């Protein structure tokens, strides 16, 4: 992944997300998903704006079905906001940067 957005897999999900010491957004996406590609630049921008308080990762649902199934991902893109190992919020579909910033600011 480019910039400040990390690639997450089934194998490192627990360490990268559940044990993270800051708010973590996981973008459940797929290569073929046009809306997923549309939201990617927004996530890159947000990762750059909150380097100390926020971690953002992308989990490809086609390559990591175990985690996607565990969290009941049925539509993509789906963003799950994690803190202290728990899901705080779920956002499905493309959202504006302002909407995402509001959720981040409420939870960091």
Number of domains in the chain: 1
Which CATH number characterizes residue 39's domain? 3.40.30.10
At 65-79, the pLDDT tens digits run 999 999 999 999 999
Model confidence pLDDT, tens digit, residues 38-56 = 999 999 999 999 999 999 9
For residue 3, pLDDT beyond 80: no
Contact 81, 23 (CB under 8 A): yes
What Å distances lie between residue 17 and 35, 38, 96, CA to CA? 23, 23, 23
pLDDT in tens, 10-25: 999 999 999 999 999 9
φ, ψ for residue 66, nearest 5 deg: -60, -50
33 is annotated as an active-site residue: yes
Give the domain extent around 40.
5-107
2 pLDDT more than 90: no
Give the integer Cα–Cα distance in Å for 84 and 63: 25
CB atoms within 10 A of CB 6: 17
Q: Residue 64 pLDDT > 50, yes or no? A: yes
Catalytic residue among 1, 20, 33, 103: 33
Q: Which of these is catalytic: 36, 47, 59, 68?
A: 36
């Amino acid at each position: 992944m480019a910039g400040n957005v990390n690639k997450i897999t089934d194998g490192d999900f627990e360490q990268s997300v559940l044990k993270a010491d800051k708010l973590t957004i996981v973008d459940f996406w797929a290569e073929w998903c046009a809306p997923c590609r549309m939201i990617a630049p927004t996530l890159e921008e947000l990762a750059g704006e909150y380097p100390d308080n926020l971690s953002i990762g992308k989990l490809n649902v086609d390559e990591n079905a175990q985690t996607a199934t565990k969290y009941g991902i049925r539509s993509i893109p789906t963003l799950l906001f994690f803190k202290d190992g728990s899901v705080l919020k779920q956002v499905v579909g493309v959202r504006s940067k302002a909407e995402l910033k509001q959720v981040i600011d409420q939870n960091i």
